[in-house]
C-alpha cells in the first residue's frame, strides 16, 4: 500500500484511494462541500484544493535527494482537488499551507458573493457547513458591493422537499444522490453560469421514498422539509441517538426534541445497517403517536368506568382480579414493538407468575413497503428479537387459534403488551367476549377503553433497551424524552432550553408523563407475587437475558455501543469499529457569541 505525507504526517492507505479519502480514514478533515463518501466525485466546489508534490526522478527513474538526503519534492504549480487526486507512493500533500489556505478563503468569498443573508430564518442555521466554514476558513469580509443575484425561492420539488435556489452553492450532492442512490434521475443543473440553479426535468416530481435524504447531505439550507420548516432553531433542541421504530430494518436515527416533543427524525450513520440514509416513512410517520393522545397515568375500571389511579393501586387491583383466574384461561401477547428487555420479562412473567403457557406475539407485515434498499415489510422494529427470546413457543393457545379459544370461552383474560391489534380485526372484535383485558398502552384508543386495567407504557423515545433487526443485529438505544421514571437520568440529554427553562417560559409547559417501561411494570407486578425482581436499570435485565438466551451470550450495552450493534451469536466476533463520516452537524460553541460572529461575518 502506498505511503504519503499529509501535513507532515506519514499515512499508509490502500491503492487507488484519493487524498480526501485517506485523510478522512485517518481522522483528518480537509474542507469540502461537494464530496461525499457514498457519491461519485464531482469536483464542483474546489474547497478541497491542496498543494501536491511528488519525488523528483532522474533520467533513469531514480528518486533525487536534497542536501539533507531526503527525497526532493517537485510540487505541481497549480493546486489540486483532494477529492479526485489519487494517492501515490512518496506523495507530499499540504492542506494547511499558506497557498492552500489562501485558496480556501478565495473559494469561500466566491461562494458567499450571491448567498442571501437568510441565516436568521434558515432552518439550517446552527448546523450549516457554509456557516462553519465561513467562521473557520474565510477572511470574514467580502469585496463584492454589487446587488446579489436573485433566484426562485420556496420551490416545491415533491411532497417532502422544498428548494431555495438562492441558498444553493451548486455542489450537486442532491443531483448525484437522486441518480446514484435513490435511482430517480430527475434533477439537473439549468442556466449554467452566474444564474445556475437546480431544477426538475419537465413533467417529473421528486417523490422518491428516500427523497428527504437530500436535506441532510445539502451543506447549506437550500433544501428543507415542509414537516419541520420553521418549527425550531436547532440550538434550541436536543439530538439523541435512537433506532427507527418504523420497521425491522434497524435504521439508526437522531431524535430532534424540544419541549419534550419530537420535532424531527434524521438518519444516524451506521455503515453496517443504513449507512447515511433513512426512508421518508421512518422520518414522518412514527413520532406523532409519541407526542399526542398519550395514556399518562395507570387506569382501572371502577363501576364500568376507567379511572386514573396510582401505580401501587393498579398493581394491587391486578393481583386481586387475577387471583380468581386459572392460568390456562390467560393469554399473553407480546410485541415486536417492545424491546428485547420487555419481551424477555413478559415471557418470564407469564411462566413464573401467571403460570401460563399461552404466549405469542403478532407480526405486522406490509409487502408494499419492501424494496431492495432499506424498505422493510416487517412494520415493527423487534419481531426478530421477540422470536429469538421465545415468545412464539407453540403453546396450546397461539395467535392463530386465539379467536376460536376466546369464542369458546377457554380464554377469559387477554394480557396485551404494547400491541394495538392493528391489522387483526378478528381479535379486536372478539375482545368483548373476554372477562378481562389488560394492556400496556402508549395511546388512548378504542382498545384501551375496553380494558379493565391500563398500564401507561413508555414509547421507544422514552425507553432504554435493545431491538434486533431483521438481519439479527442487536442494537442499543437510550431515551430522548423525559418521563417521571427517567427524569433524574435525562439531565445531560436535554437541550439547554428544556434543561434550564423557567416556569414562565412557553417551552417548559410540556406534559411529564407517568409512564414506565414495560419490563419495569412487569418487574413491579412480580414483586406483588413475592418475586425478588429488583431490577433498577434496563442493562440489568439485558445482562440476565444475555446469560439465559444463547444467541445473546456475551453481549452487553458497552459492546453493542462500541460496534454499533452486534449480530446474534457473534458477540465474540463483532463487526470492526469504523470511522463514521459526518458531513455537518450542530456544533455548540464554548463562546455563545461565536455563532453570531460566524453567521454575520459570512456575509
pLDDT of residue 589: 39
The helix/strand/coil state of 481 is: coil
Start-to-end CA distance of the chain, whole Å, equals: 44
pLDDT, the chain, mean = 92
Domains annotated for the chain, with CATH where assigned, are 3-110 (3.10.20.740), 113-224 (no CATH), 299-460 (3.40.50.740)
What pLDDT shows up at residue 57? Answer: 86
Q: What is the pLDDT of residues 452-473, one digit of tens each?
A: 999 999 999 999 999 999 999 9
Residue 599: what pLDDT? 33
**Sheet of strand 261-267, all strands in order from the earlier edge strand to the far edge:** 238-243, 252-258, 261-267
Whether residue 399 is predicted with pLDDT greater than 60 in this model: the reply is yes
Q: Confidence class of residue 77 from pLDDT cuts 50, 70 and 90?
A: very high
pLDDT tens column, 193-224 = 888 999 999 999 999 999 999 999 999 999 99
Tell me what pLDDT residue 591 has. Answer: 38
Q: Which of 126-135, 355-364, 387-396, 491-500 has the highest mean pLDDT?
A: 355-364
Is it the case that residue 120 has pLDDT exceeding 50?
yes
Q: Is the pLDDT of residue 6 over 60?
A: yes
* 292 vs 567: CA distance, rounded Å: 34
The predicted-structure confidence for 32-76, as pLDDT tens digits, reads as follows: 999 999 999 999 999 999 999 998 988 888 888 888 878 888 999
Q: Summarize the confidence of residues 181-200 as an average pLDDT.
A: 94
Q: What is the pLDDT of residues 437-449, one digit of tens each?
A: 999 999 999 999 9
Question: 196-213 burial, b if ≥16 CB within 10 A, otherwise e?
Answer: ebbbbeeeeebebbbbbb
Please report the pLDDT score of residue 72 as a whole number: 87
- Is residue 594 very low, low, confident or very high in pLDDT (cuts 50, 70, 90)? very low
Per-residue pLDDT reduced to its tens digit, 136-166: 998 888 888 888 989 999 999 999 999 999 9
pLDDT tens by residue, 362-373: 999 999 999 999
Tell me: pLDDT of 600 over 50: no
Q: For position 587, what pLDDT does the model report?
A: 55
Query: How many CA within 13 A on the CB side of residue 332?
Result: 27
Q: How much of the chain is in helix, strand and coil states, percent to nearest 5?
A: 30, 20, 50
Burial 436-466 (b: 16+ CB within 10 A, else e): bbbbbbbbbbebbebbbbbbbbbbbbbbbbb
Q: What is the mean pLDDT of residues 276-292?
A: 96
pTM of the predicted structure, to 2 decimals: 0.92
In angstroms, rounded to a whole number, what is the distance separating the alpha carbons of residues 476 and 100?
42
Q: Give the residue with greater pLDDT, 342 vs 590.
A: 342
Three-state secondary structure call for residue 81: strand
Say what percent of the chain tops pLDDT 90.
83
Q: Which residues pair with 190 in a beta bridge?
A: 197
- Predicted confidence at residue 267, as pLDDT, reads 96
By the 8 A CB rule, do 258 and 507 touch? yes
Amino acid at each position: 500500500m502506498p505511503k504519503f505525507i499529509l501535513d507532515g504526517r506519514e499515512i499508509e492507505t490502500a491503492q487507488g484511494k484519493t487524498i480526501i479519502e485517506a485523510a478522512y480514514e485517518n481522522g483528518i478533515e480537509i474542507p469540502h462541500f461537494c464530496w461525499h463518501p457514498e457519491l461519485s466525485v464531482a469536483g464542483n466546489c474546489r474547497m478541497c484544493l491542496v498543494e501536491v508534490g511528488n519525488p523528483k526522478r532522474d533520467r533513469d527513474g531514480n528518486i533525487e535527494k536534497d542536501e539533507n538526503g531526503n527525497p526532493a519534492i517537485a510540487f505541481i504549480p497549480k493546486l489540486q482537488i483532494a477529492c479526485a487526486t489519487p494517492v501515490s507512493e512518496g506523495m507530499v500533500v499540504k492542506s494547511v499551507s499558506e497557498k492552500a489556505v489562501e485558496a480556501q478563503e478565495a473559494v469561500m468569498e466566491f461562494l458567499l458573493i450571491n448567498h442571501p443573508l437568510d441565516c436568521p430564518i434558515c432552518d439550517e442555521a446552527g448546523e450549516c457547513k457554509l456557516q462553519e466554514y465561513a467562521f473557520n476558513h474565510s477572511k470574514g469580509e467580502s469585496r463584492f458591493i454589487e446587488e446579489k443575484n436573485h433566484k426562485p425561492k420556496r420551490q416545491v420539488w415533491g411532497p417532502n422537499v422544498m428548494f431555495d435556489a438562492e441558498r444553493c452553492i451548486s455542489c450537486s450532492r442532491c443531483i448525484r444522490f437522486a441518480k446514484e442512490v435513490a435511482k430517480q434521475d430527475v434533477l439537473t443543473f439549468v442556466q449554467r453560469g452566474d444564474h445556475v440553479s437546480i431544477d426538475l426535468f419537465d413533467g417529473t416530481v421528486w417523490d422518491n421514498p428516500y427523497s428527504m435524504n437530500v436535506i441532510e447531505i445539502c451543506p447549506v439550507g437550500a433544501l428543507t422539509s415542509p414537516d419541520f420548516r420553521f418549527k425550531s432553531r436547532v440550538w434550541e433542541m436536543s439530538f439523541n441517538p435512537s433506532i427507527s421504530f418504523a420497521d425491522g430494518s434497524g435504521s439508526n436515527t437522531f431524535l430532534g426534541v424540544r419541549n419534550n416533543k419530537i420535532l424531527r427524525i434524521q438518519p444516524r450513520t451506521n455503515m453496517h445497517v443504513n449507512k447515511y440514509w433513512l426512508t421518508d416513512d421512518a422520518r414522518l410517520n412514527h413520532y406523532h403517536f409519541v407526542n399526542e393522545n398519550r395514556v399518562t397515568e395507570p387506569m382501572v375500571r371502577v363501576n364500568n368506568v376507567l379511572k386514573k389511579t396510582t401505580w401501587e393501586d393498579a398493581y394491587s387491583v391486578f393481583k386481586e382480579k387475577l387471583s380468581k383466574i386459572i392460568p390456562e384461561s390467560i393469554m399473553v401477547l407480546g410485541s415486536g414493538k417492545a424491546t428485547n428487555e420487555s419481551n424477555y420479562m413478559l415471557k418470564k412473567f407469564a411462566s413464573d407468575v401467571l403460570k401460563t403457557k399461552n404466549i405469542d406475539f403478532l407480526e405486522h407485515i406490509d409487502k408494499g413497503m419492501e424494496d431492495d434498499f432499506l424498505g422493510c415489510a416487517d412494520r415493527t422494529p423487534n419481531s426478530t428479537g421477540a422470536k429469538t427470546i421465545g415468545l412464539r413457543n407453540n403453546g396450546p393457545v397461539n395467535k392463530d387459534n386465539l379467536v376460536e379459544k376466546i369464542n369458546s370461552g377457554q380464554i377469559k383474560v387477554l394480557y396485551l403488551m404494547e400491541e394495538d391489534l392493528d391489522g387483526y380485526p378478528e381479535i379486536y372484535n372478539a375482545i368483548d367476549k373476554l372477562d378481562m383485558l389488560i394492556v400496556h398502552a402508549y395511546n388512548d384508543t378504542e382498545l384501551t377503553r375496553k380494558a379493565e386495567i391500563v398500564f401507561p407504557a413508555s414509547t421507544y423515545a422514552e425507553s432504554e433497551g435493545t431491538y434486533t433487526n431483521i438481519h439479527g443485529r442487536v442494537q442499543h438505544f437510550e431515551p430522548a424524552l423525559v418521563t417521571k421514571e427517567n427524569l433524574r437520568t435525562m439531565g445531560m440529554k436535554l437541550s439547554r432550553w428544556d434543561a434550564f427553562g423557567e416556569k414562565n417560559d412557553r417551552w417548559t409547559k410540556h406534559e411529564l408523563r407517568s409512564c414506565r417501561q414495560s419490563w419495569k411494570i412487569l418487574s413491579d407486578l412480580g414483586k406483588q407475587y413475592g418475586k425478588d425482581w429488583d431490577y433498577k436499570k434496563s442493562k440489568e435485565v439485558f445482562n440476565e437475558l444475555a446469560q439465559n438466551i444463547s444467541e445473546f451470550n456475551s453481549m452487553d450495552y458497552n459492546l453493542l455501543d462500541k460496534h454499533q450493534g452486534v449480530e446474534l451469536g457473534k458477540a465474540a466476533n463483532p463487526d470492526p469499529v469504523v470511522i463514521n463520516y459526518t458531513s455537518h452537524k450542530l456544533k455548540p460553541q464554548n463562546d455563545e457569541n461565536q455563532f453570531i460572529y460566524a453567521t454575520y461575518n459570512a456575509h
